[in-house]
Structures are given as structure tokens and as C-alpha cells.
Amino acid sequence: MRYRKSTVFVLSGLLVATLGAVTSPTAALGSPNTNQLTALAAPEPNQVQDLSVKQADGFATLAWTPVDGATDYQIERTLLDAAGTAAGPATIVGVWRPGRQINNDEPTFADAGFNPGDRFQWRVRARFGTTEQPYSLPVSGVTTAPWGDPAVPGQNLRTQWETTKAAQYTSDVDEYAYTKTIDELSARVRVVEIGRTVLGRPINMFVIGYPTPPATPAAVAATSPLSINCNVHGNEPGDREACLVMARKLAFSDDARTIDLLKNTTVLIVPTINGDGRAANTRGNSTGQDLNRDYSLIRQPETLSFVQMVREYRPVAGYDGHEYGNSSAGDLPMLSPRHQNVARSIFDESQRMIEGHMYEHGAKDGWWPCPYGCNGGGNVGLGEETILRNTLGLKNVVNSLLELRSSGGPTRPDEGNTANNRRRKTYSAMWTFNEFLDYHRANLNGIKQARTEAITFQSGNSSRIVFRGSHLIPAHPAPHPGESPPPANAPTEDQILDNPPCAYKLTEEQYNGARTDGPGGVGFTVAQRIRAHGWKVVKVADGYVVPLAQPERGLIPLLLDAQGAEELVGGERIYPTGPVRHNGPLVVSGVTCLADGTVNGPVTVRPGATLIATGSTISGPVSAAGAAGVFLADSTVRGPVSITGTTGAVAVVDVQVSGPLSLAANGTGADLPLVAGNTVNGPLSCAGNSPAPVNLNIRNTVQGPRSGQCAGL
């Protein structure tokens, strides 16, 4: 079998080469190696064999059999006319180096930058040091034209960037017109304005599902959606053009893959969060703020809009598109969320997406993903929670940064031509985002599992707090893409708080007082920002309490602790008080924190009081009537739990309940009562709560019936 297989491979390689030679008249090319006689003769020493070229959206994947002793390979491309005659110079457009892929014995190169739809011939030659070896036989083909039948409405839309052949980027006006037309013509698409920029430009989001997108943000959230943020830095527009073209294909293509993807999730695409910066071609927004240093602090309306969108639509995975000015880096530097407060499960799953999927598929399709920094990248890719990659990780979203190498550099030497350079960047972004969709489709269970583990871990508030510092990213095993992972960026002693508080308390002034850190010296209040993040808050007699026993526990101290590197406000740390072991009934008044505690008896939460219990065992029922807040996480209750009439916030996460769990008539206003990941040995019943409880798609295990508002949890 093995012999037969390899014979077939060689024959098919020869066939490709022969066809290539036949379709491209060789006299015009003036090369002694490309006539048909040579194709049928024995190969020259060290000549590249078995060159194949596979067309895809905006790029062509070249593959060949390695030549022993080659140190690199040069890729030559020649424009052909319709008759197959050379219509331009033969140009070295690519240099393959071993550092670009994880399996060097199957070299591939994604050639891109050409105008899609044109016809080309390719040849590849090995080099030993600087000594050039003979070229392969040529292969020619017509590249894949921009997606969409020009005769079919919707499909025939083209961006300004496409119609000008990358001479112009799509303007704001053209983007809005294109977006509106897709919205009108495709039942699969709803375009939502998630906010406005400082200067009043709409920030739109494509919500794409099949046959139609779910009707509400909560219904979208139930599909475990994924999000692509295409253009936060206004002077890095390459990803945005990819997003606009992708949106058209998702909206109108009937191919099996697209339908399958959209039947199983909802795709959220924000093409331009920084419309003012894009219009001015500046990195920051109109105030000069780098928005990718603002996703935690949300001083600006653009970042506030995005964070609110994440709260409402709850993407489980994300990509954030950029361009990167290191010409020696790979095509596609990527990086996971790595702030050390990011749950290990989210970090690991993001790493699996990058190293397990992107590196592997990059090696098949010829693209060069690598760890951000990649080759001599310097002190980049650290743990600032202000960066979307980290903010999303702290919101339990599997995600990655994407950087498109801005200049061609030594491995893409033909990109002095601006249009070629722009096309390579945009089509490499499109490849990445499509791979991201495929990863989400194939690995949703793993993503959801990572998210479940992260939310239960965070709600348990059991580990140290790190204010700044990163999870370590070791070098990928050799041969690795890129020479260097990003710096270790370990936290220093003064960036670590070993004993986490149970909550932060803010004064009225801190919570609702005027702020001056936004545009024009006016800012959103802390209360508005906390609401945008979606954190649970309890109003108490002398201020506001933000417990750490909730899903975004990793992010809360970075903003509310005075020790935070870029804190929003210096709240008061609230620590557990009183004995860790309590015998007899416990009556809670005021704010009571129970961390790793044991109560041998029932717990009663009095009206207006707040209970925050983590890692605890309570041998007796827990009952709260008219409490201000009830937080139970990572705990065991040997008895029923009854929570009624709470006025502030409710969270019950990862709790073993021996008996019924019931929530009734809690009127918590903006707070969605959270009932997630619990094991209930009895019925789960919810009635008359406003709003209704949610489980963030983390199912409870319930022995008895689930009823009322919790029937689906």
C-alpha cells in the first residue's frame, strides 16, 4: 500500500507539471527549463519536483517536494495573458524559510498580493546558501476571483477597496452603503449599531445567522457566538477589508460550509470600532486615545460600546485584528490572552486554537502564523488588561490577537508595490478569520468547557490576585514558527496579592461621582462602567459592594483596587471577618463574607443583609428573604437553599445543594440572577423573578424537576 500511494503521488505531480508546461508557451518565458521536453526528461540535480498550486480566496498555495540540502526556496510568479503568454516580468515574490512552518518536510507557501482573478505561472527553486539551483517546471493557473457572481444581486456587491484594486481603502461612506445593502438583501444578516464614536460615526456590527440571525442579543448568546473586531487602530486597515468581504460571502454564499457554520452559531463582525481614527488614518480615536489600551477602563464611547456588546451578546471566542510593523516577523503574528488573572482553561484553549489549529493549518495552506513578537519582536505582547485580547480573556472568552505583518520584508520581496502589499495583508486576515470560524465550529465543546471551567473558577475567588504579569508562553517545539515567543513577563512581588479580598466597597462619590477621564474632560461614571462590564453590585447603607464571587473576578480587582496598575478607582478591600468555623445557626446582617468557612447549622440572611460565601460548607438550610445580595460559589449546602425578595444581586455558581434550590420574587433590576453549574439534589424552581435568572449556558445538574423561569437552566 505504501509503495502504491507514493507512486500515485509522483505521477500526479508529474501530471501537474506537464499540464503547466503545455499551457504556458515557453519561448516567451525564455527559460531553458520550462519546455515540455524537459518536463518529460529526467530532472536536473537539485531541481524542485512536484510543484502544485492550489487556488483559494485571494491566495494560491504552492507545495513541492523538499530538496536535500536546501536552505531556502525562492518563489517566482509571472503574469500571463488569456492565451497563456507572459504579460509581465518573472518576479521573485516569495522566499520560503524553514522557520515559517512546523513541518519542514512538506514545504508550502501562500502566494498572495496578486490581483485575484488574473492568470499566473509559478516556479520554485531551492538555494544552497546564496547558490541558486534549477527552477521547477512551471505550473500555471487562473487565480480565484473576488467572491460573488457579478450577475446576482448581493453577491455582486464590491467594496471600494475591491473596485479600486486595493488603490483605496473603503471609506466610511462606502462602508455604510455596502453594509446597508447587505442588511437589506440578506435575510441572514442584521446590522446593529452598537454605539457611536466620539465624533458621532455609527459603530456597526454584522449579526449573521442561518436562516436568520436570532432575534435578540440573549437569543444570539444562546448560540455561543464568536466575534471579530476588525479595526481598532485606524491606521491598520488590512483586517477591516477582509471583514467586509467575508460578511458578503457569509450573507450570500450557499456553499455547504457557510450554511453549516451559520446553522450552528452566530457570527458577530464589528468592521470599524474606530471610525474616526480610520477616517483620519490615525492609531487612536479623535481624542488621541489608543482604544486598545482602554477596554478595561472604557473611558471612550467606542470601547464602552464594544464592552456592552460583549455583555449582551456573550461571544465565547474572538479575534482582534491589527497590523504590525516588524518586517522580519511571520505573516500572521498571533497571541492568546495571558494576563495571569485569566483562567488557565481560557489561556490553554486559546493556545490550542493558535498553536494546535493555526500553526497546523498555516503549514498546510502556506501561511506563516507565529507568536506575536515572532522574530526579534521586542517587548510586546504583555499582560495589560487594557488590551482587548486580555480584557476578553478576563471575561472568559477564548481569543487571539492577530497582527498582519505590515511590510513584505525579506520573505515577500515584491511588496514595494503598494496594492500587492495591501492584498497580501487582507487575504491573510481573511484566511485567519475563516480558520477561526472553522475552529469554533469543530471545537465548540472544548471552548464551552474552557468557559465553564473559567466561570466556576473565577466565581470561587480562591486564587491569588495578580495586578500585572503574564502566563508564560514557551517556545513551540522545533521546528517552530518564529524564533522567539513573547517575553516571560512574570509578575513582581508588588504585583501580587496572595490573600484576595471578598469584595470591594465604593463610596457614593466613588461610584456615582463625576469623572474627567473621558473625551473633553468628561467621563462615564464608575457606575456606568461597572454596568457596561455587567458586574454584580450590592447597594449597602454606606456605599456599594462589588463581590469577587462572580464570573469577571479576574478583572474586578484590576479596576477597583488601588494597587491596580491602571485602576479606575481605589475601593476598600473587604475581607472575611469572624471565625472560619461557626457552630449553630448563623444570622447574617450587614455584609458577611464566608471564605473556606464551615457553618454547622442553618444560615439566615436578614432583610437588607448580604451574604458572600465561597469555598464553604454549610450544614443546614440557607434562607434569604429580602436580602440586599446573595452570593454562593464553590460551596456545599447540606439542606435547601431559598432566596426570595433580594433587591440587589444574586449569584449561585458551582454549589452542591442537598435539597431544593428556589429563587422567587427577586427584584434585582439591572442584575440578571445567575444560577450556573450547580448540582441540586432536589427540584430547581424559579418564579416571579425580575429579571429572570440566567445560567450563561452553563447547565445545572438537577435531580428533581426544573420549573418556572429555571425550566431551561
Residues lying near Zn ion in the complex (CB under 5 A) are found at 233, 236, 322
Q: Quick one: 77 or 322, whose CB is closer to Zn ion?
A: 322
Using CB atoms within 10 Å of the CB of residue 697, give its burial: 0 to 12 exposed, 13 to 18 middle, 19+ buried.
middle
- Closest contact distance (angstroms) between CB of 381 and Zn ion is 12
Using CB atoms within 10 Å of the CB of residue 436, give its burial: 0 to 12 exposed, 13 to 18 middle, 19+ buried.
buried
**Residue 149 dihedral angles phi and psi, to the nearest 5°:** -70, 120
Q: Quick one: 236 or 561, whose CB is closer to Zn ion?
A: 236
Cα distance between residue 669 and residue 683, in whole Å? 25
- Closest contact distance (angstroms) between CB of 269 and Zn ion is 18
- Closest contact distance (angstroms) between CB of 387 and Zn ion is 10
Q: Quick one: 233 or 533, whose CB is closer to Zn ion?
A: 233
Each as own residue / partner, the long-range contacts of residues 352-357 (CB below 8 Å, 24 or more positions apart, any chain) are 352/443, 352/446, 353/317, 353/398, 353/400, 353/436, 353/439, 353/443, 354/400, 355/476, 357/435, 357/439, 357/443
Contact 666, 650 (CB under 8 A): yes
Q: Quick one: 76 or 236, whose CB is closer to Zn ion?
A: 236
Instruction: Give the end-to-end CA distance of the chain in Å, rounded to a whole number.
Output: 53
- Closest contact distance (angstroms) between CB of 44 and Zn ion is 46
Q: Quick one: 221 or 354, whose CB is closer to Zn ion?
A: 354
Distant-in-sequence, close-in-space partners of 643: CB < 8 Å, separation ≥ 6: 622, 623, 624, 627, 630, 650, 652, 662, 663, 664, 666
Q: Quick one: 352 or 389, whose CB is closer to Zn ion?
A: 389
E strand intervals along 415-559: 465-466, 496-497, 503-506, 538-540, 543-547
Residue least distant from Zn ion (Cβ): 322
Q: Quick one: 322 or 395, whose CB is closer to Zn ion?
A: 322
Distant-in-sequence, close-in-space partners of 40: CB < 8 Å, separation ≥ 6: 18
From the centroid of its chain, how far is CA 372? 14
- Closest contact distance (angstroms) between CB of 230 and Zn ion is 11
Distant-in-sequence, close-in-space partners of 60: CB < 8 Å, separation ≥ 6: 53, 54, 110, 111, 112, 114, 120, 122, 141, 143
Cα distance between residue 686 and residue 704, in whole Å? 13
- Closest contact distance (angstroms) between CB of 322 and Zn ion is 3
Q: Residue 570 corresponds to which cell in the numbers above?
A: 481605589
Residue 645: how many other CB atoms lie within 10 Å: 15
Cis peptide bond upstream of 691, omega within 30: yes
- Comparing CA positions, the residue from 595, 713, 608 lying closest to residue 663 is 713
- Closest contact distance (angstroms) between CB of 37 and Zn ion is 52
- Closest contact distance (angstroms) between CB of 319 and Zn ion is 13
- Closest contact distance (angstroms) between CB of 241 and Zn ion is 15
Q: Quick one: 57 or 276, whose CB is closer to Zn ion?
A: 276
- Closest contact distance (angstroms) between CB of 404 and Zn ion is 9
Cα distance between residue 332 and residue 656, in whole Å? 45
Q: Quick one: 189 or 388, whose CB is closer to Zn ion?
A: 388
Residue 304: DSSP 8-state:
H
Contact 140, 84 (CB under 8 A): yes
Contact 507, 543 (CB under 8 A): yes
Contact 329, 367 (CB under 8 A): no
Count of H-run helices and E-run strands, the chain: 17, 39
Q: Quick one: 233 or 405, whose CB is closer to Zn ion?
A: 233
- Closest contact distance (angstroms) between CB of 282 and Zn ion is 12
Q: Quick one: 20 or 284, whose CB is closer to Zn ion?
A: 284
DSSP strand pairing (91-96 vs 538-540): unpaired
Residue 100: DSSP 8-state:
G
- Closest contact distance (angstroms) between CB of 402 and Zn ion is 10
- Closest contact distance (angstroms) between CB of 236 and Zn ion is 5
The angle that helices 238-252 and 256-264 make with each other, rounded to 10 degrees, is: 90
Q: Quick one: 100 or 233, whose CB is closer to Zn ion?
A: 233
Distant-in-sequence, close-in-space partners of 42: CB < 8 Å, separation ≥ 6: none
Distant-in-sequence, close-in-space partners of 30: CB < 8 Å, separation ≥ 6: none
Contact 193, 283 (CB under 8 A): no
- Closest contact distance (angstroms) between CB of 233 and Zn ion is 4
Q: Quick one: 236 or 294, whose CB is closer to Zn ion?
A: 236
φ/ψ region of 182 (left if φ > 0, alpha if ψ in -120 to 50, else beta) reads: alpha
Q: Quick one: 303 or 592, whose CB is closer to Zn ion?
A: 303
Q: Quick one: 372 or 457, whose CB is closer to Zn ion?
A: 372
Residue 131: how many other CB atoms lie within 10 Å: 9
DSSP strand pairing (49-56 vs 706-708): unpaired
Q: Quick one: 314 or 322, whose CB is closer to Zn ion?
A: 322
Residue 92: DSSP 8-state:
E
Q: Quick one: 322 or 529, whose CB is closer to Zn ion?
A: 322
- Closest contact distance (angstroms) between CB of 703 and Zn ion is 50
- Closest contact distance (angstroms) between CB of 274 and Zn ion is 10
- Closest contact distance (angstroms) between CB of 329 and Zn ion is 13
E strand intervals along 515-615: 538-540, 543-547, 572-574, 581-583, 586-588, 591-595, 598-600, 603-605, 610-614
